[in-house]
A and B are shown apart, each in its own frame.
Chain A
Amino acid sequence: MEVRSTQQPEHSELPDSPHVVLECKDVNHWFGDKKVLYKIRLTVTRGQIVGLVGPSGSGKSTLLRGILGTHPPCAGEVLMDGTPYRRPHRDRGIVYQRYSLFPFLTAEENVAFGLMLDQTTVAFRSFKFWEWWKLRQEHLKQAAALLQRLGLDKARHQYPAELSGGMRQRVAIAQALIMKPKLLLLDEPFGALDEATREDLQLMLLHLYDENLRALEKQEPPPYTILIVTHELNEALYVSDRIVGLSQYHAEGANGATIVYDKAAPIFRPQDPKDVGKFLKQKEQLLDAVFDEEQVQHHLEFVTFWQDHEKSSKAS
């Protein structure tokens, strides 16, 4: 089975700032006596779509919250562009599984909400009313354009309660993307949706990755860096270009879950058919390494993403 990795140019060729977007340094987390995360080391570079998988209870959501900044880890650091942080910030967007939109705003207002919160203050909006009104029309235009790109033009003026689950998650992703965050976090975003809608939204993520690839071809920095937590292995292997497996079933499992799998995943372009055969072997490997309670191997055996990456870039 051929596993292609992205053609990542050398650092000096990229015209942008730091290559490494996210770095987790020895992240440990516990709740009282219960140890949840153990020595998490993760480096995410710009333009990657990382799929975070693991059995239930492996602390995926805990790790995501630690990366988001709302529940910073008990020990260790999380760094974005080299600076450690312990609180949420507009550079890290999130889409939750439920309560993903503000119920008191229409779809368009929801998407424009971030622009308003980020670019203006309450004082500005209260006292410089005319300027604010003009800026608001700008925001709403941007929001409408983005929604149109995602095929939600007709639902612009509807409230979230009137939208279907799939449309809601689309609007939520638009709401996060309009801020152009450095890192977009998705916490099981399609978990509550039916199969057909899920495939639709997976295709949307593939389009985003497609934009990344086209930007790289033009020697521009890729716009989207995404970390998606999911319990669906097929989804993770289809959408992402790197799989990270978190599991408590390893030699030092008593100390908490750690990363036991970190390899590249096959890349699908939006026009490619969803050929499950492409990643069947990798899926079995994943099931063994991450989900199997019996198999307790050395936890670093399958954590080979950066070695594979160096090998392939040396080869090319």
Chain B
Amino acid sequence: MIRQPISRHWWIGLGVASVLLLVLLYTVFAGSRQATRRREQQRIAIESLQQLSQRAQELEQRRAEARRADNTQVLTQIARDAERLQIEKENALRDRDEPDAVDRTIPTWSMLYREGLLRTCIPQKKFARTELWILDDFKPTLIRLLTALVVGVLISVVIGLLMGCYDPVEAWFLPPFAFFSKVPATAVMPIFFAVVHINFKMFVAIIAFGMLPTLAQSISQCVRKDVPEELVFKAYTLGASQLELIWNVTFRQVLPRILDAARLQIGPALVLLVAAEWLVAGEGLGHRFRLSYQKTDMSVVYFYVFLLGVFGLAADYALIWIRRRICPWFGD
């Protein structure tokens, strides 16, 4: 039978088990990746040892010839070559016997801890100044995100309310909004970069642009469908003016739904922001991702991904809590 309940212990146990399984799989995967890398290093070392022994033989032949010819110049050169050969041989031997190659694209847990967590949370010295990566990266990104969300939501609410209440406003805004809500904002990025100066306002503008059509349309739909006309007529009989109807009746009725719709827009906004920062920003999360990619040094990326996941969950719960406090009448 479907929907059969299970005890709390099973719920928690299964959840914990799935997380542990993922952790185990990652450990195995990372381990095998490192092992592959080291085997590769050994194989190359063995090949080069073979080549080196060949070269050593050739070198010995040339030395014998040079000794017979008593050519001191060539002998010194051969001596130098022999030294170089010896160093290479030592390196290859060391690679073969104690391989230490590290694959930074799928790091082990200790690498994640050292180069991910510690490196970002402990101030690093870069020439004359110290930088705290976690702060330097998250602060600009979060400020851009917050400003863009506030601006985007405010404009969307105003336009959405007016669209929902007045037909002419809806008729005016519907064609552009219906079209642009389907255009992925990442496709519009190049236009923004080329036309607008790359600064703080540009980031806010692009996120607000990505969020505006969808949010405004959804708010206007809420206003039309979730406000029963009986309430509107009743408000008129209680002496409400137009403004009071929009502000005291309609807005308060759709407020919980606005908060929910805004909460759903945080995800796409963050996606757009990281993409834009990756491409053109001089500071922030996307910028750090770009640097890590160029150096193929992914530990920081993994750690930031984890933090972003936690941030997303926290923002979600925070908005749900805010909605419950402001609109206790709206059943969950």
Q: Within the complex, which residue of B234, B249, B330 is in contact with A94, where a contact is CB–CB below 8 Å?
A: B234
The chain A residue with its CB closest to the CB of B331 is A161
- Least Cβ–Cβ distance between B12 and chain A, in angstroms: 32
Residue B90 is within 8 A (CB to CB) of chain A in the complex:
no
Residue A159 is within 8 A (CB to CB) of chain B in the complex:
yes
Complex Cα gap A105–B228 (Å): 15
- Least Cβ–Cβ distance between B233 and chain A, in angstroms: 5
The chain A residue with its CB closest to the CB of B238 is A114
Residue A1 is within 8 A (CB to CB) of chain B in the complex:
no
Q: Within the complex, which residue of A88, A89, A113, A121 is in contact with B241, where a contact is CB–CB below 8 Å?
A: A121
Residue A122 is within 8 A (CB to CB) of chain B in the complex:
yes
Among B231, B238, B248, B328, find the residue whose CB has the most chain A CB atoms closer than 10 A: B238
Q: Is the interface of B mostly helix, strand, loop or mixed?
A: helix
Residue-wise, chain B 225-244 has the 8 Å CB interface mask toward A (1 for contact) of: 00010110111111111011
Q: Within the complex, which residue of A113, A159, A160 is in contact with B238, where a contact is CB–CB below 8 Å?
A: A113
Known: A99-B230, A99-B231. A104 touches B237 (CB 8 A): no
Residue B156 is within 8 A (CB to CB) of chain A in the complex:
no
- Least Cβ–Cβ distance between A237 and chain B, in angstroms: 27
Contact B331 A176 (CB under 8 A): no
Q: Chain B: how many interface residues by the 8 Å CB criterion?
A: 25
Residues of B within 8 A of A196 (CB): none
Known: A68-B237, A104-B329. A96 touches B230 (CB 8 A): yes
Q: Chain A: how many interface residues by the 8 Å CB criterion?
A: 32
- Least Cβ–Cβ distance between B139 and chain A, in angstroms: 35
Contact B228 A99 (CB under 8 A): yes
Contact A100 B238 (CB under 8 A): no
Q: Which of B275-318 contact A (CB under 8 A)?
A: none
Complex Cα gap A92–B239 (Å): 10
Complex Cα gap A93–B237 (Å): 6
Among B228, B234, B240, B241, find the residue whose CB has the most chain A CB atoms closer than 10 A: B234
Residue A179 is within 8 A (CB to CB) of chain B in the complex:
yes
Complex Cα gap A98–B229 (Å): 11
Complex Cα gap A116–B245 (Å): 12
Complex Cα gap A102–B327 (Å): 13
Contact B248 A68 (CB under 8 A): no
- Least Cβ–Cβ distance between B230 and chain A, in angstroms: 4
Residue B67 is within 8 A (CB to CB) of chain A in the complex:
no
Residues of A within 8 A of B42 (CB): none
Residue A103 is within 8 A (CB to CB) of chain B in the complex:
yes
Contact A117 B244 (CB under 8 A): yes
Residue B62 is within 8 A (CB to CB) of chain A in the complex:
no
Contact B331 A114 (CB under 8 A): no
Residue A4 is within 8 A (CB to CB) of chain B in the complex:
no
Residue B253 is within 8 A (CB to CB) of chain A in the complex:
yes
Residue B247 is within 8 A (CB to CB) of chain A in the complex:
yes
The chain A residue with its CB closest to the CB of B234 is A94
Contact A68 B235 (CB under 8 A): no
Complex Cα gap A121–B253 (Å): 19
Contact B238 A117 (CB under 8 A): yes
The chain A residue with its CB closest to the CB of B246 is A122
- Least Cβ–Cβ distance between A140 and chain B, in angstroms: 16
Residue B252 is within 8 A (CB to CB) of chain A in the complex:
yes
Complex Cα gap A99–B230 (Å): 6
Residues of A within 8 A of B249 (CB): 102
The chain A residue with its CB closest to the CB of B254 is A104
Contact A88 B247 (CB under 8 A): no
Residue A90 is within 8 A (CB to CB) of chain B in the complex:
yes
- Least Cβ–Cβ distance between A160 and chain B, in angstroms: 8
Contact B253 A117 (CB under 8 A): no
Known: A117-B244, A159-B328, A161-B331. A102 touches B231 (CB 8 A): yes
Residues of B within 8 A of A121 (CB): 241, 244
Residues of A within 8 A of B236 (CB): 70, 87-89
Residues of B within 8 A of A92 (CB): 237
Residue A175 is within 8 A (CB to CB) of chain B in the complex:
yes
Contact A122 B228 (CB under 8 A): no
Contact A159 B329 (CB under 8 A): yes
Complex Cα gap A68–B230 (Å): 12
Residues of B within 8 A of A99 (CB): 228, 230-231
The chain A residue with its CB closest to the CB of B329 is A159
Residues of B within 8 A of A102 (CB): 231, 234, 249, 252-253
Residues of A within 8 A of B239 (CB): 90, 114, 117-119, 179
Residues of B within 8 A of A176 (CB): 237
- Least Cβ–Cβ distance between A109 and chain B, in angstroms: 11
Residues of B within 8 A of A181 (CB): 237
- Least Cβ–Cβ distance between A123 and chain B, in angstroms: 9
Q: Within the complex, which residue of B234, B241, B327 is in contact with A104, where a contact is CB–CB below 8 Å?
A: B327
Contact A100 B240 (CB under 8 A): no
The chain B residue with its CB closest to the CB of A103 is B329
Contact B234 A118 (CB under 8 A): no
Complex Cα gap A121–B124 (Å): 59
**Contacts A/B (CB < 8 Å), 24 sampled:** A70-B236, A88-B236, A88-B237, A93-B237, A94-B234, A99-B231, A100-B234, A102-B234, A102-B252, A104-B255, A104-B329, A104-B330, A113-B238, A116-B248, A117-B235, A117-B239, A118-B238, A118-B239, A119-B239, A121-B244, A122-B241, A122-B244, A161-B329, A179-B238
Given contacts A94-B233, A181-B237, 17 further A-B contacts (CB under 8 A): A87-B236, A89-B236, A90-B239, A94-B234, A96-B234, A99-B231, A102-B231, A103-B329, A104-B330, A113-B238, A117-B235, A121-B241, A122-B244, A122-B247, A175-B238, A179-B237, A179-B238
